[in-house]
Chains A and B, each alone.
Chain A
């Protein structure tokens, strides 16, 4: 199914990426080219095939629900752009 500019704009909104008009046009062409290539998959019969999400068919292991990490707040906040009183500062975006 051919992708239209509205699909690209929807995906860009969902992905939280600003896209200019010129970029959107370019992405429509690129993404259609890629999806045309991907559409080869539709010609293959996969009825009855179980999807493979992990190449070793492994399942996610669980661990005991207990605290194993120590508090490293100061260390981790050293690479933040702005902190105050142990809190991360971000730009005010809500009035």
Chain B
């Protein structure tokens, strides 16, 4: 059952081959059996899941079920879920039970999906390895010594291990695409504003975007169709019609113009990863696409600009976690300042503190122009690079990450960790969509091909990814977990 894609499960449920209760029970057993090894879940909501599964089965029996009714999935623990702990991977919110659902959750519930629980993540979505969670590191199911990537690493590992057919993630600098690449699954970061951010605990508001993580592009098309669209409760959500993402999947690729940014194939790229990516690109040539080199000249400045803008926004967004309005409260405060300072010291981990301190420093008097304003100007140049490239080609392709998944504990200093996102971060600064699809293995660890399109080109990205998956079977590979009998 767990070898099927979400799309295949949709067909099986619709055809009455299995019920949502059977499916949900199967995945819950797998979580119970395997997650102790992976640590991919923070909360498992078995009881609620079975209630939702039964409701989906009843709706189907009455002929009232939507296309996703009864499909189990998981939610990164950054999405507020009514009545369920929403920790954001932090001690700060270890006791927070959200009183409402995020819009993404509401829409998935309305589509009839069944949430099995909340997945592990880097604390407040800050990290590229999933080692900064208060609930411990997540293991990569392909190799338990390796990281799953971050910050949506719990979602990626759970999908890769077949503990759930799909999961929701968020991507602020690559946090869907990089873990998808490291775990050998398909992950889509939509255009900024395509999916509502209401009820998603904010890290960097001008960069954060939610998206689906699943086995295939077709699965992602199902899920994006359910969650995309305007939301009056999010002032950054875009009022624009949602196309039928499934309808576009089968369009032929003949005539597709692919650009390979030369800056994505330079120093720092693992030679074997490059070989896998170039091999994947050659598949596209065999499908009728043409390939040319393009340039994104300001790529080199994306990480520096991001590490001004994101921490600046984070320092503001995380000010609400002060022990009074939200979050952990220290014991026996001496005065108000002591209450704030100790609550935040005890509640936040080191990576979160580092980013709050950097953000506070760069926004403080005397430094704002040199750092924040400068970074926002560079951001415009980075976005213009993409817009110029899309005048010449339809999509861009390159690696999602310069290396396969690295070992747990391998990145000791923050900057070497930050450099892992070199090919993903600029995409968030520009607000364009990107998808990572499985495209090979290096040393037994998956490699992700990243495909980028212009603003609101999700349908095209899903089509381009789907056609690759029709021609290859990388997305069908699954890690062999010990005692594979659940």
Contacts and interface: CB of A to CB of B under 8 A. Distances in A.
**Chain A partners chain B:** yes
Interface of A: 3, 7-8, 10-12, 14-19, 27, 30-31, 33-35, 37-42, 44, 46, 49-56, 58, 60-61, 63, 72, 75-76, 78-79, 81, 90-91, 93-94
A4 B307 CA distance: 19
B307 A51 contact: no
B324 A90 contact: yes
Given A16-B340, A34-B418, 11 more contacts: A3-B361, A16-B337, A31-B357, A38-B308, A41-B371, A44-B381, A50-B380, A51-B377, A55-B192, A91-B329, A91-B332
Given A16-B322, A37-B304, A93 B358 contact: no
A39 B304 CA distance: 7
A14 B360 contact: yes
Contact of B430 (A15, A41, A55): A55
B364 A53 contact: no
B307 to A, nearest CB: 6
A34 B354 contact: yes
Contacts of A46: 374, 377-378, 381
A10 B364 contact: yes
Contacts of A7: 361
Contacts of B222: none
Q: Which of A33, A34, A41, A93 has the most CB of B within 10 A?
A: A34
Interface in B335-381: 335-342, 344-345, 348, 353-354, 356-358, 360-362, 364, 370-371, 373-381
B357 A52 contact: no
Q: Please tell me the size bucket of the interface on B.
A: 35 or more
B413 A33 contact: yes
Nearest to A54: B206
Contact of A93 (B193, B308, B339, B357): B339
B344 A18 contact: yes
B99 A41 contact: no
B33 interface: no
Query: What 8 A-B pairs are tightest by C-beta distance, nearest first?
Result: A55-B431, A51-B376, A52-B380, A18-B341, A46-B377, A18-B345, A16-B340, A49-B377
B58 interface: no
B40 interface: no
Contacts of A16: 319, 322, 337, 340-341, 344
Q: Which of A39, A46, A75 has the most CB of B within 10 A?
A: A46
Interface of B: 95-99, 192-193, 206, 232, 235-236, 238, 298, 300-301, 303-305, 307-308, 315, 319, 322, 324, 329, 332-342, 344-345, 348, 353-354, 356-358, 360-362, 364, 370-371, 373-381, 383, 413-415, 418, 428-432, 455
A19 B350 CA distance: 11
20 contacts: A11-B361, A14-B364, A16-B340, A17-B345, A18-B338, A31-B358, A31-B361, A34-B354, A34-B358, A35-B358, A40-B301, A41-B371, A46-B377, A46-B378, A51-B377, A53-B376, A61-B235, A72-B99, A91-B333, A93-B333
A72 B307 CA distance: 38
A17 B415 contact: no
Contacts of A55: 192, 206, 379, 383, 428-432
A33 B95 CA distance: 34
A91 B333 CA distance: 8
Nearest to B359: A15
Contacts of A75: 99
B312 to A, nearest CB: 11
A18 B236 contact: no
Q: Which of A7, A14, A16, A54 has the most CB of B within 10 A?
A: A16
Contacts of A42: 370, 374
Contacts of A78: 99
Contacts of A18: 338, 341-342, 344-345
A41 B353 contact: no
A3 B362 CA distance: 11
B380 A56 contact: no
B341 A41 contact: no
